[in-house]
Structure 1
Amino acid sequence: MIQGLHVSHLLSLQMNRITYTTPPAPLLSQYEQLKEGTFCNETSVDRDCSTEFCECVHRLKVDLNDVVELVLIADGKHGMGNHPMHLHGHSFYVLGMERVNDTVDRSEIERLDSQGKLRRNVEFPVRKDTVIVPDGGYTIVRFKANNPGFWLFHCHIDFHMHLGMSMVLQVGEPRKMPLVPPGFPRCGNWAYSDDVTAPYDICRTNVATRTAMPAAVVLCLITQLLL
């Protein structure tokens, strides 16, 4: 909670104004049991997330072998500090990083980029899987999405991650992802129940295993005040 001017307001840490929620079943092994409405992103969410609270399994889909560039923006509001962002399943090249001001917003970064003022080092970039996004600034990363699967991308400050500063990067369609080993344990929602008909106990029904078989994104790391 925030004291003073914003008494009784809740501080939420988000990505593109969306709070990440854990899916009711593992994405890789039980994707077929999840409804499409479980997922969302800033283009599919059906409300104004600047004034309403938005939460879902926040997912960004890219095609296998796409070259993906992420422009990560930390707005710097409310003194939340820098964010160490970590991507599972891939490493990325850090092309640029700069603190612009005490606070910054997405429109300002997009304006600077359109004017060619976001410099990108493409000759000798550092390769990492975790990078700081400076408070009131931006970081630009780029990678080849050549590892199919569902990969978590999140702030590595634990309580920021658990408050919702996370998202899932889906690389490729499920049919192109590795098959689950035979006999792999199945699980349901993280709430135990003796009632086999409980609405969250979705994993006690056997489901047949499925058969085998450059993009640019701006992500704004947001500290939002919720009424």
Structure 2
Amino acid sequence: MKCVNVDEFRSSFYHVDPRIYGYTTAKFYGFGFDGDASTSASSVDGVNFRFPPNPPFIDPLRYHLATCPGVGCDHNKLDCCSCTSVTHIVLDRVVEFAFVNRVASDSRFGSPHPIHMHGHSFYVVKVGYPSYDENGKFAGPNDDIECIVQSTKSSCSKFITIESEVDGKKTVIQRLQWRKSHSQNVTIAEFNKNNAPIRKDTVIVPFGGYVVVRFISDNEGLWFLHCHIEPHQLQGMAAVISELKPYILTTTDEEMYSL
């Protein structure tokens, strides 16, 4: 039996959008477990997703301007905060997401996460696996990605992205990023060698590893991103991707309701 990793599969060259080979920077998502395991274990970047009371497209401007986790989610006081988490992307751009199955360095228990994105299929650029011992058992998380505190450039106390807001200005306190030994340029070089990556809408992110995907933001909407293990999704391992036209982003509530 030969094991073939998903990033080793190839599409027909004619089925690949050439725009995905353009330069871009990665948006990191940390899928993991935080807070009280009985109520808020599942999370993305330490945020336990809560469904909004109404469909977001009824009021897209409000959800595009959502401030979670910057406001109302103080990670200095809470292990995990619960809210409707929204990520913003610009239309008609090449977008790169790095899905990280984050675990503590001394952890030995967890699960892979099948991550599914609505509104798009994506090209699987790379799968980063954890390290394994001679018996094929998990030995430690992949170290291509690190978490740093912006002010001190030191390691994070928690492997999550944290934002704060002071006087209406958002500041990133700590975040996931490529380790210098595995820079963004390395990822692009490997991607170009792949030539014609496979296209999927769900991908398994290995325990302690990561998956890099790319797509073109050419489908306006508010899209759900979540783990497809249903208990994980229902407990909060999810987020919303806001992909809206500029006129919506500059429209007031009164103008929005008149459209």
Fold similarity call, TM over 0.5: yes
Q: State the Cα deviation string for residues 134-176 of structure 1 (Å, max 9, x = none).
A: 1111100000111001000000000000111100001024855
Count of aligned pairs: 173
**3-state SS of the aligned residue for 1:160?**
helix
Contact in 1 for aligned 2:63/2:86 (Cα 8 Å): no
Relative to structure 1, the CA distance from residue 149 to residue 210 in structure 2 (aligned partners, 3 Å threshold; closer, same or farther) is: farther
- Aligned-pair CA distance for 1:116: 5.5
* Aligned counterpart, 2:47: 18
Relative to structure 1, the CA distance from residue 159 to residue 39 in structure 2 (aligned partners, 3 Å threshold; closer, same or farther) is: farther
Contact in 2 for aligned 1:149/1:171 (Cα 8 Å): yes
* Aligned counterpart, 1:107: 146
Counterpart amino acid of residue 141 in structure 2: T
- The alignment's TM-score, normalised by the length of structure 1, stands at 0.64
- Aligned-pair CA distance for 1:36: 7.5
**3-state SS of the aligned residue for 1:125?**
coil
Counterpart amino acid of residue 182 in structure 2: D
RMSD: 3.2
How much identity, in percent, do the aligned residues show? 29
- Aligned-pair CA distance for 1:19: 0.8
* Aligned counterpart, 1:97: 127
Contact in 2 for aligned 1:18/1:49 (Cα 8 Å): no
* Aligned counterpart, 2:95: 68
Contact in 2 for aligned 1:152/1:169 (Cα 8 Å): yes
Relative to structure 1, the CA distance from residue 144 to residue 210 in structure 2 (aligned partners, 3 Å threshold; closer, same or farther) is: farther
Contact in 2 for aligned 1:175/1:210 (Cα 8 Å): no
* Aligned counterpart, 1:218: none
Counterpart amino acid of residue 201 in structure 2: D
1:82 partnered with 2:120: no
* Aligned counterpart, 2:195: 123
Relative to structure 1, the CA distance from residue 115 to residue 28 in structure 2 (aligned partners, 3 Å threshold; closer, same or farther) is: closer
CA distance in 2, matches of 1:117, 1:50: 37
**3-state SS of the aligned residue for 2:199?**
strand
Counterpart amino acid of residue 165 in structure 1: M
- Stretches of 4+ moved more than 6 A in 1? none
1:59 partnered with 2:98: no
Q: State the Cα deviation string for residues 73-132 of structure 1 (Å, max 9, x = none).
A: 102455221000000010100000021233357417621432866543541100000001
Of 8-17 and 77-86, more deviation after overlay is shown by 8-17
Relative to structure 1, the CA distance from residue 85 to residue 66 in structure 2 (aligned partners, 3 Å threshold; closer, same or farther) is: same
* Aligned counterpart, 2:209: 137
**3-state SS of the aligned residue for 1:19?**
strand
> Superposition pairs for residues 1-227 of structure 1, below 5 Å?
10=37, 12-31=41-60, 34=62, 39-41=67-69, 46-48=73-75, 51-77=78-104, 79-101=109-131, 102-104=140-142, 106-107=145-146, 110-111=178-179, 112-114=181-183, 118=187, 119-120=190-191, 122-173=194-245, 175=247, 209-211=257-259
- The alignment's TM-score, normalised by the length of structure 2, stands at 0.57
CA distance in 1, matches of 2:204, 2:76: 25
Relative to structure 1, the CA distance from residue 46 to residue 10 in structure 2 (aligned partners, 3 Å threshold; closer, same or farther) is: closer
Relative to structure 1, the CA distance from residue 62 to residue 37 in structure 2 (aligned partners, 3 Å threshold; closer, same or farther) is: closer
CA distance in 1, matches of 2:196, 2:83: 37
